[in-house]
Structure 1
Amino acid sequence: MFILVNLKAYPCDPVEVAEAARDVAEESGVRIAVSPQAAHIERVAETGVETWAQHVSPNDHGSYTGSTLAEAVADAGAEGTLLNHSENRLKLADIDASLDAAERAGLETCVCGNNPEQIGAVAALGPDSVAVEPPELIGGDVSVSTADPDIVVDAVDAAGAVDESVDVYCGAGVSTGDDVLAAQDLGATGILLASGVAKAADPRAALKDLVAGL
């Protein structure tokens, strides 16, 4: 299982979370990555943890003030990027262009979708992975794998029907080791979470719980 921790714009210490994720990954052998704000990518990457951008823009070099250039986040140390998170939705054409930008910069990609139908559509664009995240469960206390396991199963099937090489991650409400195991049992190969770690009083303990059963 792959655990991708999205720090969003939460008021946490990104370096503290990154160091905890690095240590837990080394101790457990589980792949763990941290996705901080763009301004913090370099600091997080310097800890040695696998680092992802929260977004890259669908443009190349040029007159694009305010954009997040794929090459810039790669130069800062990012190894991958999220795209089309429910809190930063993109048009399908822009997802495709952002995927091209990420590929140009050598970044691994994960495209989010709200439901199995969207997962099938974005999987057709050729990302490395997709993440199903019903928006009503994001930031809540109930994991999608518990609240509506059929969504995860159907998302896995939808992606597989398009491209079996695309990994499917489970997001929204994931916060415990039991949630991780439930997602794995439903066919997901990774999880995407945020508040369960970023808002935890002890991020290291939260991460240890997530990997305990793996």
Structure 2
Amino acid sequence: MKEIGTPFFICNPKSYLYGEECLDLAKAADDFAEKYGVETFFTAPYADLAKINDNTENIIVTAQHMDPLSPGRGMGHVLPESLKAVGAKAVFLNHAEQSLKLNTLVKTIKKAKELDIITVVCADSLEEALAIAKLGPDILLCEPTELIGTGQTSSFDYIIETTTKIKEIDESILVMQASGISNGEDVYNTIVHGADGTGATSGIMEAPDKAKKLEEMIQAVVKAEKEIK
């Protein structure tokens, strides 16, 4: 498994971008990752993963979801081996927009580990985060569902409490906090209060200049890193 540098940043366009526009932002993220030395993940629709992987060198190409199946039957599902084959190094699981039952999540995390794919697993409450921590995800994204896309970040108390309690269960898990991240200041505050990483969707997608907003956020990661070291 690739060792993940911290603090890290995840640019998550969801389905706002696809094709050439998605590739252009991925290339910008790739340039910023190299320029600022920040571990940067970039998610994309499945159909765009191969092209993004072929045209970047520094970002961690990330799938939005996968299913716990092996080659064979499974029409319409997302085959983990197919993601691995096109260069995906990480995968989101249990996002509020693609939530999983516990038994499915257990199987999918196990499958990702077998294929050496980094897991970014979402939890929408402290209770769910603590339960998922026992499954050994690589990154645990603590993101209250009600704050997604609102521009309102989690409280500093929530960030500190969830991060501390997850580390008590498994100190190797990286804890990501990303609710409502809208600008560089949000990124900075989230990381200096203990998160191993953060990321954004609408904060970048709704900006007049998406690449400029992404760079602002990655610069804030660098600023926060200097503060905590």
In 2, Cα distance between equivalents of 1:201 and 1:111: 30
Q: Which runs of 5+ in 2 are unaligned?
A: 1-6, 223-229
Provide the residue aligned with 1:28 in structure 2. 36
Identity %: 31
Matched, 1:102 2:112: yes
Provide the residue aligned with 2:3 in structure 1. none
Name the SS for the 2:62 alignment partner: strand
Query: 193, 202, 210: which is aligned to 1:195?
Result: 202
In 2, Cα distance between equivalents of 1:100 and 1:62: 18
Query: 66, 70, 73: which is aligned to 1:60?
Result: 70
In 2, Cα distance between equivalents of 1:203 and 1:151: 28
Change beyond 3 A, Cα 1:88–1:108: same
Provide the residue aligned with 1:80 in structure 2. 90
Provide the residue aligned with 1:184 in structure 2. 191
For each residue in 1:162-188, what CA deviation from the matched residue of structure 2 results, as whole angstroms up to 9, or x when unmatched? 101000001121121111111112210
Provide the residue aligned with 1:3 in structure 2. 9
Q: Which runs of 5+ in 1 are unaligned?
A: none
Letter in 2 for 1:121: A
In 1, Cα distance between equivalents of 2:141 and 2:45: 19
Q: Which consecutive aligned stretches of 4+ in structure 1 deviate over 3 angstroms post-superposition? A: none
The aligned runs of 1:58-207 (5 Å cut-off) are 58-144=68-154, 148-207=155-214
Letter in 1 for 2:142: V
Provide the residue aligned with 2:227 in structure 1. none
Q: 1:117 touches 1:155 (CA, 8 Å); kept in 2?
A: no
Letter in 2 for 1:50: I
With structure 2 as the length reference, what TM-score do the two structures score?
Answer: 0.88
RMSD over aligned Cα atoms: 1.3
